[in-house]
Amino acid sequence: MKISPNKFVSLSYDLNVGEDGEKELMERATPEQPLEFIYGTNSMLEAFENNLDGLSEGDSFDFVLTPEQAYGDYDDEHVVDLPRNIFEVDGKVDENVVFEGNIIPMMDSNGNRLNGSVISVGDDAVKMDFNHPLAGETLYFSGKVLNVREASAEEIAALFAPQGCGCGCGGNESEACDCSDKDAQGGCGCGCGA
């Protein structure tokens, strides 16, 4: 079976970034922990999928995505200083959430969800970077197609089900929430608004 729209695909791969002489391994999907997705459902980069189109189980791949094909160029305008008080709960910033290097789920003024990386925490402001972590990078993929099969109706339906906030609790406000940042009422306090 060949990779085509609505096929369930399983891949192992190495993702390297950088220049030819100075490449760095950024991510690895192994046969034990493969990348799994449904082809043609906009869950992966279009250029990534285009390079896999028509491959079959057992086929190897090796391709490069430019920043324009992947996550765009790094944009200095996506680095902003936000008032420290927007991160405060009861007058205090939670240092278990707001610390240098942490990724924080946030929402813009239009209600769009986005992730920001904390660059620094100052007395009056928190400097955040809203660029994708791989913005400006050339991506070098090499790997193997492990499996190609028809996607089940349940797998396709799951793509369109609400996904929660990504903190681990599914945005639910119950004791089952394993979010490490429960609020005073026992609900998800990750700041995502779920």
Convert the pLDDT of each residue in 98-111 to its tens digit.
999 999 999 888 88
- Range(s) of the chain covered by CATH 3.10.50.40: 7-71+136-159
User: How many angstroms separate the CA atoms of 167 and 75, rounded?
Assistant: 27
**Which pLDDT score is estimated for 163?**
53
* CATH architecture observed for domain 7-71+136-159: Roll (3.10)
β pairing state of 24-29 and 92-93: unpaired
**Ranges of the chain whose pLDDT falls below 70:** 20, 162-194
Predicted confidence at residue 20, as pLDDT, reads 66
Pairing state between β 7-17 and 139-150: antiparallel
Buried b / exposed e over 21-52, threshold 16 CB at 10 Å, is eeeeeeeebeeeebbebbbbeeebeeebbebb
pLDDT of 158 reads: 84
- CATH code for 76-129? 2.40.10.330
Torsion of Cα atoms, 181 then 185 then 188 then 192, to 10°: -100
51 secondary structure, DSSP code: H
Tokens of 78: 């996506």
Q: Write down the pLDDT at residue 132.
A: 92
Q: Which residues make up the CATH 2.40.10.330 domain(s) of the chain?
A: 76-129
Residue 54: predicted pLDDT:
97
Burial (Cβ within 10 Å: 0-12, 13-18, ≥19) of residue 143: buried
For residue 150, what is the enclosing H or E element? strand 139-150
**What's the number of CA atoms in the CB half-sphere (13 Å) around residue 77?**
1
Output the CA angle 99-44-167, nearest 5 degrees.
30
Please give the Cα distance from 146 to 10 (Å, whole number).
5
- Give me the long-range contacts of 166-170 (CB less than 8 A, separation at least 24): 166/105, 166/192, 167/105, 167/192, 167/194, 170/194
pLDDT at 184: 43
